[in-house]
């Protein structure tokens, strides 16, 4: 398979700066999901499967229109259905497309111990690099949305790529393109934010949906997938969308202060090595092995 390139903003477990950071204009991409116009048709589910080459998963009916309880390693995009009683006693059906949120501050990436297994491109897409993935599952603990899933056959983690293969060629993600009502929309983060706020305002002012608002949680520094909700005060009603998602403190400590402790330890080690070198001189390196390190 031929390969394309995309500059990188962040990279997991990588010493030093991310290789692509700040080299080009950052145009963050974003997916807007307007739950007030979602009809739960699942075109996005099928378009995702079709584009990404996943075919058939055996499912079981479970007193719902929902295809399965949650996303899986090969089912990255799932509409969550919730029968919801409004304050006036009437019933409605809340439908929300669930998938990777492509956080600006991705907990999965922070938690990942494998060098280069998770990257964030300069356009904001958070992508798993399966060839570097060690299958440890730490990304799961870092993700406030419970998105990364383990493939037991390949022992690697998978999730939505925001169709980075399409986006890098100038196309929109497959789910976005398919969406019949336009409840899904794609563009730059700034544009999507404007569109979302305009829509929420329209819902408040023209349709009397007073609590309509935009979900773009600050706890992860905003997301590359944002929602318009009828009731921004109750995201949990939409199939467990967390009210204040954040990267777990363990991950923060591990990658924050703990990392510096580690770095200090590493520096200490380096110092030791240097002193050792100064004192004892270089070690002979096997030529053959040296060759082998070259690409």
Partner 1 sequence: MTNGWIDIKNTDMMLIMGGNPAENHPCGFKWAIEAKRTRNAKMIVVDPRFTRTAATSDLFCQIRAGADIAFLGGVVRYAIENNRIAKDYLINYTNAAFIVKEGFQLPEDGLYSGFDAGTQTYDKSTWNYEEGGDKSGEAATAAPARGHTGGATAANANAASTGGSAASQGQQPGSGSGPGLTGQGYTGMGAGGAKAMEPTKSAPTLPGKVAYDLTLQHPRCVFQLLKQQYSRYTPEMVERITGVPKDQFLKAADTFTSVRKDGDMKKVGTIMYAVGWTQHSFGTQIIRTAAILQLMLGNIGRAGGGVNALRGHSNIQGATDMGGVFDIWPGYLKAPNPTDTDLATYLKRVTPTTSKPEHWDSFNYWSNTPKFTVSFLKALYGDAATKENDWAFNYMPKVDRNYSWTQIWDAMYRGNVKGMFAFGMNGVAIGPDSQKNIDALKKAEFLVVGEIYPDETSEFWKSPGVTPDEMKTINTTVYRLPCAGFAEKDGSMTNSARWLQWKNVAVPPPGDCRLDQDIVAQIFLKVRDLYQSEGGKFPDPILKLTWAYTNTLHPALGDLAKELNGKALADLTDPKTQITIKRGQQLPGFAWLKDDGTTSCGNWIYSGCWTEAGNQMIRRGTEDPAGQGIYQNWAWSWPANRRVLYNRASCDPSGKPWDPTRKQVWWNESAQLWQGNDIPDFKPDSNPKDHMGPFIMNPEGVGRIFGPLAAFADGPFPEHYEPIESPVQNPLHPNQSNNPVVKKFKTAADKYATPGDGFNIICTTYRMVEHYHYWTKNNPMNVQLVPEAFVEIPVELAQELGIKGNDKVKVTSARSFYIAKAFVTKRIRPMTIDGKKVYQIGIPIHQGYRGIQEDADRNARTIANRLSPTVTDPNAYTPEFKGFLVKLEKA
Partner 2 sequence: MELSRRNFLRGALVGGAGISLLGFDLTPAVAQLKELKIARATETRSTCPYCSVSCGVLIYTIGDKAKNVTPQVIHVEGDPDHPINRGTLCPKGASLEQDILNPRRLLKPQVRRPGSDHWEDIAWTQAIDEIAHRTKKIRDETFIEKDPQGRTVNRCESLAWIGGCTDTNEFNYLVVKTMRALGLTYMENQARV
CB of 19 to partner 2, least distance (A): 5
Phi, psi of 290 (to 5 degrees): -60, -45
Contacts with partner 2, 159-198, as mask; x by CB under 8 A: -----xxx-xx-x--x--xxxx-x----------------
CA 236 to chain centre: 19
Q: Report what 20 binds from partner 2, partner 1, none; CB cut-off 5-8 Å by kind.
A: partner 2
Cβ count within 10 A of residue 144: 18
Q: Does 270 bind partner 2 (CB under 8 A)?
A: no
CB of 207 to partner 1, least distance (A): 6
- 20, 107, 142, 239: which one binds partner 2 (CB under 8 A): 20
Applying the rule CB under 8 A, the residues between 234 and 253 that interact with partner 2 are none
Residues of this chain that bind partner 1 (CB under 8 A): 36-43, 45-46, 49-50, 55-65, 67, 83, 85, 90-95, 180-183, 199, 202, 206-207
Which parts of this chain interact with partner 2 (CB under 8 A)? 1-8, 11, 14-17, 19-20, 23, 41-43, 45-47, 50-51, 53, 55, 115-117, 119, 127, 129-132, 164-166, 168-169, 171, 174, 177-180, 182, 293-295
């Amino acid at each position: 398979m031929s390969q394309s390139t995309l500059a990188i903003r962040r990279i997991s477990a990588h010493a030093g700066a991310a290789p692509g950071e700040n080299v080009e204009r950052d145009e963050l991409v974003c997916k807007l999901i307007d739950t007030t116009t979602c009809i739960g048709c699942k075109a996005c589910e099928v378009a995702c499967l079709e584009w990404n080459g996943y075919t058939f998963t055996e499912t079981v009916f479970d007193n719902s229109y929902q295809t399965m309880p949650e996303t899986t390693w090969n089912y990255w995009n799932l509409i969550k259905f919730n029968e919801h009683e409004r304050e006036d006693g009437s019933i409605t059906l809340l439908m929300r497309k669930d998938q990777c949120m492509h956080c600006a501050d991705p907990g999965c990436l922070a938690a990942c111990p494998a060098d280069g297994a998770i990257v964030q491109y300069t356009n904001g897409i958070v992508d798993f690099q399966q060839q570097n993935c060690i299958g440890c599952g730490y990304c799961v603990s870092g993700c406030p949305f419970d998105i990364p899933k383990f493939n037991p056959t390949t022992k690697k983690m998978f999730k939505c790529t925001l169709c980075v293969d399409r986006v890098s060629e100038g196309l929109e993600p497959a789910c976005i393109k398919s969406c019949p009502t336009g409840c899904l929309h794609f563009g730059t983060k700034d544009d999507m934010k404007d569109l979302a706020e305009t829509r929420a305002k329209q819902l408040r002012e023209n349709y009397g949906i007073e609590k309509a608002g935009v979900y773009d949680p600050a706890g992860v520094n905003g997301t590359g997938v944002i929602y318009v909700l009828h009731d921004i005060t109750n995201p949990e009603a939409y199939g467990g969308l967390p009210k204040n998602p954040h990267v777990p403190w363990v991950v923060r400590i591990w990658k924050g202060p703990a990392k510096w402790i580690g770095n200090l330890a590493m520096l200490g080690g380096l110092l030791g090595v240097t002193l050792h070198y100064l004192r004892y001189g270089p070690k002979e390196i096997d030529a053959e092995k040296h060759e082998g390190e070259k690409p």
